[in-house]
Amino acid sequence: MPSAGFEMVAICPHPTNPRVEIECREFPSSDVKPVRIEARPAGQAAAPPRPLSIQEFKDFPVAKGELLIQPDQGRHTVNMPVIVATTARQHVVSGDLLGFAFHVRFTPVSHAFDYGDGSAPYVTGDPNTPYPNQRFWHEWRTIGDKTISVTTTWSGAYQVAGSAWVEVPGTLETTVSSEPQRVDEYHILLTDPDKATGGKHHDSDYDWLKGTPLDPNNQP
């Protein structure tokens, strides 16, 4: 028996959309059979009165993720690899809609990596990871300022009043962009060791190039 202030409610699948659950008492037809019985505070509805689409959750605070860029100093060399990854992952957010308290689960379906050089975005379900575990990268062929962006496409599902998760039709897109990344062509100058400098290079602009270069033959 439910505690005082609670009532037992029969939950049925929606007759026109079985993915949506709703109180059986809202349907006069005897053909709708309950899937479970649950106890909840008296007067509280168990599910929204109609099927929902993901567009109705567009104002929920979707965690877009962040861009991870290597090298990360905002300066790059033409024809050298740049690695870009996104931290966008499946997550759950909460909010109110139609008078109900929802939990909404957003799941990334794909990521479109745009490197800002006019080439077609690289669309993949892989969010990539930083060096040395990267699975793809890009090489800029021209100098100038490039703005990197990643557009993530999300699918969604919701849960309300402890019900089962309900997948919703449609997708949402979010985009995260970088600050302009400077791409230049660098030339290493060799000096005579007999000169006063002793053959040492004093231009600190090359310091950021230190590290192990990637093998371009590994790029898909």
pLDDT digits 0-9 by tens, 61-86: 999 999 999 999 999 999 999 999 99
What's the burial of 6, exposed, middle or buried (CB within 10 Å: 0-12/13-18/19+)? middle
> What's the token pair of residue 167?
């997948």
214 in any annotated domain: no
36 in any annotated domain: yes
Query: Are 128 and 193 contained in the same domain?
Result: yes
Phi, psi of 71, deg, nearest 5: -60, 155
Query: Are 32 and 124 contained in the same domain?
Result: no
Per-residue pLDDT at 216 exceeds 50? no
216 in any annotated domain: no
Query: Are 133 and 45 contained in the same domain?
Result: no
Per-residue pLDDT at 31 exceeds 90? no
Q: What was the pLDDT predicted at 52?
A: 84
Query: Are 64 and 137 contained in the same domain?
Result: yes
Q: What was the pLDDT predicted at 212?
A: 36
Domain holding 160, by residue range, is 52-207
Per-residue pLDDT at 44 exceeds 60? no
Domain count of the fold of the chain = 2
State which of 4-13, 52-61, 127-136, 156-165 shows the largest mean pLDDT: 127-136
Q: What was the pLDDT predicted at 69?
A: 98
Query: Are 11 and 56 contained in the same domain?
Result: no
215 in any annotated domain: no
Query: Are 75 and 3 contained in the same domain?
Result: no
Phi, psi of 88, deg, nearest 5: -60, 125
Confidence of residue 165 (pLDDT cuts 50, 70, 90): confident
128 in any annotated domain: yes
Global pTM? 0.66
Q: What was the pLDDT predicted at 174?
A: 96
> What's the token pair of residue 87?
């931290």
